[in-house]
């Protein structure tokens, strides 16, 4: 999970080496761009919740072909839904950005990034279907390999496209969007290739068109839709926060102050914490798999033990991580992405606050995934909406 999250952190890291004002504009545009990307693509990626829960249970029951049928219906739905969503996203993005970002420069940067990045919605969503299937089998290393290759390629492509190396024109933030989109398709290709191995292709039949089932697709969606709704609600909250921060930057610029430093600081903080919370999500994913498999084996007490053991581990591990990044090394963490005095000043206090509450957030994320594994996605949705 951590290696997957690094894709966008690579963008932010390279943006830090651009000249001003391109650096601040790019970093200020990244956070609202990712909010939009996840509002559209992330909500669909919730298909992984139902896919993992059902695939894991059927695998634990020894019904391998039935487990493969879950993947068939999941990736087919993901393909159709993501294509439709991509068209909608392209149609709505200019209007949303115009409302959310007062700065013309930041808005143009965000649009240029999303023009390419939205092409990766389909690959991202379908990848989540395959990832959920393998996670449900306990084969979490499959997506790790895919993500490591993606990141290695993304580092190279970002270096070439953002800065205009090897005879390629300088593209800045637009190059980051193109690099990210290309890498997500490469990652999907690796996941599909892995599925074609005989050890998975023969017993699971992951591409058998005869396995299409409206009833099974609906079973997957019943577990996934609440998570998708919660994702949209959370992204709307982040989007509102982005609008407020953008208004602060606009007010600062009107008074002759530094423009876009608050949004840039927000992107930096999100980049740092996203690495932490994605690692935390990995704890949750493992917990969800163990909980689902235990439920499939008719061992609810064992499922409960897995959940609480994971919470205790998360509190210890991320308590230390939060203390280090929020109390001991906040200056260094922020400067890794942007060493601007204005950005450092704006980011320091929020970074300290987030570091202190990191273990509590980690606990909530782990329990969320554990409940997804138990099939309690409606309860999670209600809690997140509240």
Please give the angle made by the CA atoms of 319, 323 and 327, to the nearest 5 degrees.
Answer: 160
Residue 60, CB half-sphere, CA atoms under 13 Å: how many? 21
pLDDT given at position 268: 84
d(CA 226, CA 233): 11
Radius of gyration over every alpha carbon of the chain, rounded to an integer in angstroms: 21
Q: What is the pLDDT along the chain (386 residues), one digit of tens a residue?
A: 444 556 777 888 899 899 888 988 898 898 889 889 988 998 899 999 899 989 999 998 899 999 999 999 999 999 999 999 999 999 999 999 998 888 899 999 999 999 999 999 999 999 999 999 999 998 989 998 998 899 899 999 999 999 999 999 999 999 999 999 999 999 999 999 999 999 999 999 999 999 999 999 999 999 899 888 888 887 888 778 777 887 777 777 667 666 677 877 887 888 788 778 777 777 787 888 788 888 888 888 898 898 898 889 888 988 999 999 889 999 998 888 888 888 888 889 999 999 999 999 888 888 888 888 888 888 888 887 77
pLDDT given at position 36: 92
Burial (CB < 10 A; 0-12, 13-18, 19+), residue 192, is: middle
Helix/strand/coil percentages in the chain, nearest 5: 85, 0, 15
Beta strands in the chain (DSSP E): none
Both tokens of 127, joined, read: 């990848």
CA torsion 26-247-383-92 (nearest 10°) is -60
Roughly how many angstroms between the first and final C-alpha of the chain, as a whole number? 27
The three-class DSSP label of residue 205 is: coil
Residue 171 contacts residue 161 (beta carbons within 8 Å): yes
Both tokens of 116, joined, read: 């390419």
**H or E segment at 244?**
helix 214-254
Burial (CB < 10 A; 0-12, 13-18, 19+), residue 17, is: exposed
d(CA 250, CA 364): 35
pLDDT given at position 14: 92
User: DSSP assignment, residue 168?
Assistant: P
Nearest Cα neighbor of 98 from 119, 114, 122, 85 is 114
pLDDT given at position 1: 46
**H or E segment at 198?**
helix 198-204
d(CA 164, CA 169): 5
CA dist list (Å): 372 to 79, 228, 365:
23, 12, 11
Q: Which residues contact 328 (CB under 8 A, 6 or more apart)?
A: none
**H or E segment at 369?**
helix 341-373
Q: Please, what's the b/e burial string for 251-276 (b: 16 or more CB within 10 A of its CB; e: otherwise)? A: ebeeeeebbbbbbbbbbbbbbbbbbb
d(CA 154, CA 141): 20
- Domain ranges for the chain, please list them: 2-385
Residue 211 contacts residue 72 (beta carbons within 8 Å): yes
């Amino acid at each position: 999970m951590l290696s997957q999250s690094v894709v966008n952190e690579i963008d932010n890291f390279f943006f830090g080496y651009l000249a001003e004002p391109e650096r601040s504009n790019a970093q200020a545009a990244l956070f609202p761009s990712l909010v939009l990307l996840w509002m559209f693509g992330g909500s669909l990626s919730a298909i992984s919740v139902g896919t993992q829960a059902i695939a894991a249970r059927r695998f634990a029951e020894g019904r391998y072909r039935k487990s493969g049928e879950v993947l068939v219906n999941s990736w087919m739905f993901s393909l159709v839904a993501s294509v439709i969503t991509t068209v909608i996203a392209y149609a709505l993005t200019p209007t949303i950005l115009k409302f959310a970002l007062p700065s013309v420069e930041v808005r143009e940067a965000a649009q240029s990034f999303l023009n390419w990045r939205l092409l990766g919605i389909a690959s991202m969503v379908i990848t989540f279907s395959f990832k959920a299937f393998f996670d449900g089998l306990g084969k979490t290393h499959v997506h790790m390999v895919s993500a490591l290759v993606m990141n290695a390629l993304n580092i190279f492509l970002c270096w070439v496209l953002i800065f205009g190396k090897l005879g390629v024109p300088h593209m800045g933030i637009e190059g980051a969007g193109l690099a990210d989109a290309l890498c997500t398709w490469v990652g999907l290709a690796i996941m599909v290739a892995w599925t074609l191995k005989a050890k998975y292709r023969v017993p699971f039949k992951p591409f058998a068109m005869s396995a299409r089932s409206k009833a099974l697709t609906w079973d997957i969606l019943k577990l996934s839709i609440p998570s998708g709704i919660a994702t949209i609600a959370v992204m709307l909250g982040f989007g509102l926060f982005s609008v407020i921060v953008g208004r602060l930057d606009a007010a600062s610029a009107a008074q002759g102050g530094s423009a876009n430093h608050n949004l840039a600081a927000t992107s930096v903080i999100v980049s740092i914490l996203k690495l932490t919370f994605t690692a935390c999500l990995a704890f949750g994913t493992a917990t969800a798999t163990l909980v689902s498999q235990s439920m499939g084996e008719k061992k609810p007490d064992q499922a409960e033990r897995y959940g609480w053991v994971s919470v205790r581990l998360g509190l210890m591990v991320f308590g230390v991580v939060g203390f280090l990044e929020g109390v001991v090394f906040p200056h260094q963490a922020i400067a890794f992405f942007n060493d601007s005095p204005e950005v450092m000043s704006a980011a320091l206090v929020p970074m300290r606050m987030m570091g202190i509450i990191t273990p509590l957030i980690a606990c909530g994320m782990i329990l969320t995934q554990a409940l997804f594994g138990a099939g309690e996605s409606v309860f999670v949705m209600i809690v997140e909406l509240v």
